Structure 1
Amino acid sequence: MIVYALVGKSGTGKSTSVLQYCHEHNIPAIIDDGIFILNGSKIAGTSAKYEKNYIKAVKRATFFYEDHCKEVMDAIQMTCVAKILVVGTSVKMVNLIASKLELGKINKYVDVSEIRTSMEINMARHMRNTQGKHVIPIPYTQVETNRLKKIIQKGKKLFSKQAKYIGEVTVIQPRFTKGTIMIHENVYRDVIIHTCKTLHFVRNAKIVESDFNTFQGVTIEIELNWQLEKNIYEPLEKVQEMVNEVLLSYFEIEMNTIDIQLAAIKLEI
């Protein structure tokens, strides 16, 4: 058996990306959060996201409980898979899981940053921090709803780059989450306007359009104090750069687009 490992901190979108990675590398089996998944369907185990607290969730994910560990080991042996991917938050964790399940030495380690862009990772972190959403890479119909406190939504079907269907993920709200952080859209708007006005050449600024949840784009209308002989693109690009840096620093949002509309110029002599 060839053993792969996908490593990344909690909330970076590992479970969302794992089906695409397995499809591209012809890996039929996955170990993620305490469950054994084969060809997109749960075969054995219990998700760590069903646990009542974080400590128990970690124990479940690392197969601390003997009956749970044996159930998954037996299932893996019966299926005789040639390739398997172990998902974890660190190299130490995936090594522990591989040892517990007697998978042998891990042949290839992959960091989540190798298969996801920084924008995708920051978006996943933002969604985790503000909405507490977690993903299980199995279909909604296989989720044991009676064991969960709350199902958030069905998640989505995943397709390859060639539009081929490769599986489904389910989005849930685990019982061990600390809660959610609600940030009103006006907060983002106020921060953007304040950032623009800290630049000495910006006379005024306002938000024309914005989307901070899905598309992640914003359109800003500004008025400038500027000298006629200077390149007009310089201050506009500076506004884009500053807004992007502030949103990334404060909220871990990496905007998809920051469009600047120039409404007026007061010429300086």
Structure 2
Amino acid sequence: MIVYSLSGASGTGKSTSALQFAYEHQIEGIIDDGILIVNGEKRAGTSAKFEKNTVTAVRRAIFDESTHREAVKKAITEANLTSILLIGTSDKMTKKIAKHLDIEPITYFYYVQDIRSPREIKMARFVRETKGQHVMPIPYRQVEQNFFKRFIKKGREIFTSNRVKLGETTIVRPDFHHETINISKRVYHDVLQHETQQQKFVARIDSLQVDLSTVPTVKLVIYIKAPLDYEVIKEIQQLQILLVGAFIKTFMIEPEVINIEVKGIHK
């Protein structure tokens, strides 16, 4: 069995990218936070994300407990896998997982920065810090029913470029994640509105929308000033750049899209 390692700091989006990464490298199985995933479905194990504290979560993730470890080892054998991906926060962690599951050595080592852009990593960290959300690369229906007292919701469906479904993700908020930064949606509006109102060519802001559901997107509808003795497109492009800068400076993330619509002209 060919063993792959994918490592990176907590909250950088490894689990979100796991199904796509496995598909692109023709990897049959995934070990992520204590569970075995085959063909986008949970096959065995219990997720570390439902532990009470970080110590027990780490022990669960590296299969330190014998009953848990043996159940997953048996499932790997029964699945007759030819390749498997181990996900962890470091090479040391994935090596420990491989040792505990008797699937040493690891053949290939990959890192989150190899498969995710700096923008995507920053966004993943932002979601972790502000919402305390963790991603499980298994369907919502496979999450243990007795954990529904926690924050759990459906994530997104993962497809290939030709729309073949690889699997689904589920979003959870573990008990051990206590430190979050709460930012009101009004704050995003205020920052962008303040920056826009400073521009001399802007007569009025008609509407301002910020969507943070996946990647940050901004839609701005404005009226511009007359007379038109300035280059409209150049000014709008400059405003886009300024809004990106304000977003990065204030929230440390970059919007994926900033759409500015000119609705009319005011004298």
Q: Which residue of 1 aligns with 2:251?
A: 251
Question: How far apart are 1:247 and its partner, in Å?
Answer: 1.1
Cα shift readout 1:43-96 (whole Å, capped 9, x = no counterpart): 222100110012211221122223322332233233331100011122222222
Determine what percentage of the aligned residue pairs are the same residue: 39
Q: Which residue pairs with 1:208 in the alignment?
A: 207
Task: Name the structure 2 match of 1:88.
Answer: 88
TM-score w.r.t. the length of structure 2 is 0.84
Instruction: Note closer, same or farther for the CA distance 1:82–1:187 as it changes in structure 2 (3 Å cut).
Output: same
- In 1, distance between residues paired with 2:58 and 2:223? 49
- 1:205/1:95 Cα in 2 relative to 1: closer, same or farther (>3 Å)? farther
Q: 1:155, 1:165 → 2: CA distance?
A: 14
1:60-75 → structure 2 map (5 Å cutoff)? 60-75=60-75
CA distance in 1, matches of 2:266, 2:3: 61
CA separation of 1:191/1:43 partners in 2, compared to 1, >3 Å: closer, same or farther? same
Partner of 2:194: 194
**Unpaired stretches in structure 2, ≥5 consecutive residues:** none
Q: Deviations over 1:99-143 (max 9, x none)?
A: 222221222222223333444333333322222221211222221
1:77 aligns with 2:77: yes
The 8 Å contact of residues 188 and 210 in structure 2, kept in 1 or not, is answered as no
2:171 aligned with 1:167 = no
> Number of matched residues?
264
Matched to 2:157, the amino acid is K
Answer yes or no: is 1:136 the counterpart of 2:136.
yes
Evaluate the alpha carbon distance shift between residue 137 and residue 260 of structure 1 in structure 2; reply closer, same or farther with a 3 A threshold: closer
Q: What TM-score comes out, normalization by structure 1 length? A: 0.83
Following superposition, the deviation at residue 197 of structure 1 comes to 5.3
| Deviating more after overlay: 44-53 vs 255-264 | 255-264
Is the contact between residue 220 and residue 258 of structure 1 (CA under 8 Å) also seen in structure 2?
Answer: no
- Asked if 1 retains the 8 angstrom alpha-carbon contact of 2:73 and 2:101, the reply is yes
1:149–1:175 CA contact under 8 A, matched in 2: no
The runs of 5 or more residues in structure 1 that have no matched partner are none
1:51 aligns with 2:24: no
Other structure's SS at 1:255 match: coil
Report 1:102-251 matches (<5 A): 102-147=102-147, 149-178=149-178, 180-196=180-196, 206=205, 208-214=207-213, 216-219=217-220, 221=222, 228=229, 233-251=233-251
Seen in structure 2, the aligned counterparts of structure 1 residues 206 and 138 have a Cα distance that, compared at 3 Å, is same
**What's the RMSD between the two structures over aligned residues?**
2.9
